[in-house]
Structure 1
Amino acid sequence: MKISLQQTQILCASALSVLMSATAAAETQLSGFATLSAAISDQDFNYQRYLNDGGTFNRDSLLGLQLETPIFNNWNLTLQVKGAPSTHDDNAWEPTLSWAFISWRPTDDWLLRVGKLRLPLLLYSANSDVGATFDFAHLPPEMYSLLPSTDVKGFAFTKTWLNDNHEWTLEGYLGTAHSDWRYFLRESVPPDFTAGALYIGVDMNMIGLTATLHTDKNTWHLGLHRAELVSDYGPLPSDAPFVFIAPNIGYFKIFEEMPGPAVPTVDQLIIDVLTLGAEITLPNDFRLIGEYGRRRINNAIMGPDTSAGYLAVLKQIGRWTPYVYWAGIRTAPQALGFYTAVNQNRVPDFIPGAALINASQRTEADLQGAFDQYSVALGISYQLSPTSKIKAEWQHTRTGSAASFIDPPFTEDGSERQVNVFSLSYSVAF
């Protein structure tokens, strides 16, 4: 079943406009959350959009307000607005309506919601903006970049079963989302591509189902998700044919204007995502947290076809919680091999149009969005109060043959780099 973005927006707007009129006299609860974060790296290029040796406040800083109000009986309205760095402009902040949904609880063990709501994707997806609720200074980006959108406009249900000290939760959703995929291009190939940051808008029809088990001390999570993605650029290349100019010399064709066979395309990408997660309490106030995700693109060879995961150990010592984690993300072998072949391909300068051909190869490689990196981090959080924390972290990242989180210098072809990031933040909920 497919729901268009326009249909979902009309549905949500209609529901909100009808039901908000009933909230004027209702008792409301207003809460908020904020993070002020400073981070700096030891490199002069940008990592994760903002990080360089000049420092930034943009990576994690944000401010949010949430309103919850009963409408009638077991119906409630939830609105959340957030101010944070833009998701489609590296140089701007913007307000967004993060949540806007109507919820109905027909019984204690059923919850139905319609509107704009958070995807039940990972262990910390629901509270990823509220830094006071977890100890990491920054959730591992290798894992928390699985989907370009954290929210969906549509319908969701939650069913809960209680059994002694166990709580089972089944969540499902159906809806649409719009987001922007960011690329960094090292070359300009007129008229469509200019060197620097490039954002491509995407619309997705999404469906998913997750199961979570909570015990007194442990949490286990499993999720299956599917997205049908359409790009603002129209049909997307599923592969790139190789065109020989001379023996052992040629290029991967990415533009129809270039000589050679037609570039194979797909009208939409079919993306499946599997997620596994666990948070386990160990003796002596230790905790073990781990998550794994497999993002598979079924009908194209592309860099976002990845496996990602992290494993963290935390130790509570009074109000202090030091932690260490390892995280990694790597594109599937076939797609990573294709990226490497395109990125390294060059034609000699004596070939007519060699400069444009070589620029097209670098651009095609950058548009693959491939990953090959791992990180280790040492951090600590200090709980000032039940609703506020100060956090500090050192993170060391190594990249291999592909590094889509890095904006490389325009003149460089290599991807193997090391980045050290130091961050300090204060998070509060109120």
Structure 2
Amino acid sequence: MTALRVIGLAAACLAITPAFALDQGDYRWNAFGTVGVTYLGGEEDGRNYGINGQTTDTWRGDQLSKFGTQLSYGLTDSLNATAQLTAKAEQDSWEANLEWAYLAWQANDQLLLRAGRLRTPAYMYSETLDVGFSYPWLRLPDEVYGQIQLSNYEGVDVVYSLPLSFATLSVQAVAGQAKDRDYYLFDEFYDTDWDNLLGASLSLASNNYGTLRVAYNQAKLTIDQPLLGIADSKGSFLSVGYQYDDGSWISANEWTQRTIDGPLSPDQNAFYLMGGHRFGDFLPHVTYAQLDEEKGARQSSWTLGLNYSLAPNVTLKGEYKQVETENNFEGMFVPSGREVFTQSIPNFDGEIISLGIDFVF
């Protein structure tokens, strides 16, 4: 089985679609995970980087390492139950997480309805966010995937898939809320509520030319952090992505726009462009990523990666990322309390090395 087919199968099994419905009494069980370490160089001692500040100037495994399992069971021929559990670190402690817990009713070959705890469909890789084997990087591009700190919500979604002669068109609509979620800022966690969450996405998966995806989500956002001034503020997130993989050449690209009401929450635009080519079991790849805020603030990075297929379901990955900020923008670096208080945030320049193994069963 080629690496392309295994990746497609892994993603499909871990993101329930009408094509993988179960008969009554049948079940499907998957396990997945990442064992990895990462290191930040080029910055002064004690600096942190990343969505939870877990990348530092010492080798650490809690930024990348995670483990998960997913079980789906056919209650009837058209009604399935699915639960997904993960174990991963938040800052300095490991926690178990119920990422998914939902019922799925397949009304017909094209229409699927789900209700319960579901993945927030903000990004191109949202459905397999914790399944590192489903994407080429060891760490997803921080400039894009560090913008939204919400991976799931409680509510409903509807997925309609329409087979075409040259592609499959899928339309998804979501509605729900997410209460008491953690939001990481200034090296602390704050309680956050996402109310009136609404979203829609459209995906066109062609037979020969890759997959194009467009998604829009919005919610009323409240963060229990007085300095931000975010209370019942409207937030919106737009994502446009394209991915291609013919077994030899591979490309993944995504552009996002984040808007939150409030003078202390500037708009953000971000994108990444990735390309690679397989040489037998090896996959070298390169990625350029950029995150922009208002008034010229910017983080940009280049990532060089090399993957090696140890087995059809196990991949060894290594990456080198050169990242820098401009115009006194912290980007994904964690500023100190003094820098925040005095508004004297410097420009940052770091080199991030990551090594690890992704697997799926």
TM-score range, shorter chain: 0.7 to 0.9
Which residue of the partner structure matches residue 183 of structure 1?
185
* CA–CA distance in structure 1, aligned partners of residues 178 and 351 of structure 2: 34
Residue identity matched to 1:30: W
Whether 1:219 aligns to 2:211 is: yes
Residue identity matched to 1:301: P
Residue identity matched to 2:56: N
> C-alpha displacement at 1:288, in angstroms?
2.6
> C-alpha displacement at 1:399, in angstroms?
1.0
* CA–CA distance in structure 2, aligned partners of residues 233 and 138 of structure 1: 28
Would the aligned equivalents of 1:183 and 1:404 in 2 still touch at CA under 8 Å?
A: no
Which residue of the partner structure matches residue 146 of structure 2?
145
Alignment of 1:127-276 (within 5 A): 127-178=128-179, 179-184=181-186, 197-205=187-195, 206-217=197-208, 218-233=210-225, 237=229, 267-276=231-240
> C-alpha displacement at 1:198, in angstroms?
2.1
Which residue of the partner structure matches residue 288 of structure 1?
251
Structure 1 residue runs of 5 or longer lacking an equivalent are 1-24, 185-196, 238-265, 337-370
Structure 2 residue runs of 5 or longer lacking an equivalent are 1-23
- Go from structure 1 to structure 2 and tell me whether the alpha carbon gap of 1:234 and 1:101 turns closer, same or farther (over 3 Å shift): farther
* CA–CA distance in structure 2, aligned partners of residues 398 and 429 of structure 1: 33
Would the aligned equivalents of 1:280 and 1:287 in 2 still touch at CA under 8 Å?
A: yes
- Go from structure 1 to structure 2 and tell me whether the alpha carbon gap of 1:77 and 1:313 turns closer, same or farther (over 3 Å shift): same
* CA–CA distance in structure 2, aligned partners of residues 235 and 55 of structure 1: 32
> C-alpha displacement at 1:409, in angstroms?
5.0
* CA–CA distance in structure 2, aligned partners of residues 109 and 27 of structure 1: 21
Which residue of the partner structure matches residue 89 of structure 2?
85
Whether 1:56 aligns to 2:46 is: no
Residue identity matched to 2:288: W
**TM-score under structure 2 normalisation?**
0.85
> C-alpha displacement at 1:304, in angstroms?
5.0
Which residue of the partner structure matches residue 18 of structure 2?
none
Q: CA RMSD in A?
A: 2.1
Partner-residue secondary structure (3-state), 1:328? strand
Residue identity matched to 1:421: I
> C-alpha displacement at 1:410, in angstroms?
5.5
- The count of residues paired between Structure 1 and Structure 2 equals 326
* CA–CA distance in structure 1, aligned partners of residues 264 and 165 of structure 2: 46
Q: Residue by residue, what CA displacement relative to the aligned partner does 1:335-391 show, whole Å, maximum 9, x if unpaired?
A: x7xxxxxxxxxxxxxxxxxxxxxxxxxxxxxxxxxx631111000111122211100
Residue identity matched to 1:372: R
Would the aligned equivalents of 1:235 and 1:268 in 2 still touch at CA under 8 Å?
A: no
Partner-residue secondary structure (3-state), 1:143? helix
- Go from structure 1 to structure 2 and tell me whether the alpha carbon gap of 1:407 and 1:272 turns closer, same or farther (over 3 Å shift): closer
- Which of 65, 70, 73 matches 1:69? 73
- Go from structure 1 to structure 2 and tell me whether the alpha carbon gap of 1:410 and 1:332 turns closer, same or farther (over 3 Å shift): closer
* CA–CA distance in structure 1, aligned partners of residues 218 and 198 of structure 2: 5
Higher percent of residues as strand = 2
> C-alpha displacement at 1:418, in angstroms?
0.7
